[in-house]
């Protein structure tokens, strides 16, 4: 038996609901990435290690990724 999604939900309203939830989660993810970046920065100052610059780089890339994904969902989804 095949369940057609249109029977369960109106297709358009479901897409809008998914988009809204996704945007909310991605905003939280962006805030999370900023906090992680700050934590890495602070811990890197308190406890400098050879891996510190790499961790700062990864956390910066993650902020970029989180921002790009948020913009992608807002614009394309």
Partner 1 sequence: MDLDMGENTIQQKRTRNPFAMFAPLPVGVSFDEQDEGENIVLLLRAHIVTLVPALLEFIVLLVLPLVAILVARAIGFNLASLLAASQIGILLLCWYVFLVGLVFYRFIFWYFNVYLLTNERVIDFDFRGILHKETSYANLSQIQDVSPRIIGFFGTFFHFGNVFIQTAGEKPEFEFINVARPDDVARAILGEVRDEESEAPGEIA
How many residues belong to the chain?
77
Contact between 34 and partner 1 (CB under 8 A)?
no
Two structure tokens written together for 67: 């921002």
- Contacting residue, 39, 57, 71, 74, with partner 1 by CB under 8 A: 39
CB proximity list for 40: less than 8 A, separation 6 or greater: 52, 55, 56, 59
Contact between 75 and partner 1 (CB under 8 A)?
no
Contact between 57 and partner 1 (CB under 8 A)?
no
4/25 Cα distance (integer angstroms): 27
In the stretch 3-32, what mask flags binding to partner 1 with x, by CB under 8 A?
Answer: xxxx--x-x--xx--x---x--xx--x--x
Contact between 48 and partner 1 (CB under 8 A)?
yes
């Amino acid at each position: 038996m095949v369940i057609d999604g249109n029977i369960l939900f109106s297709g358009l309203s479901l897409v809008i609901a998914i988009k809204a939830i996704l945007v909310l989660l991605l905003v939280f993810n962006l805030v999370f990435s900023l906090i992680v970046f700050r934590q890495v920065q602070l811990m890197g100052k308190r406890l400098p290690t050879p891996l510190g610059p790499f961790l700062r780089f990864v956390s910066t890339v993650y902020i970029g990724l989180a921002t790009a994904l948020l913009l992608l969902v807002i614009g394309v989804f």
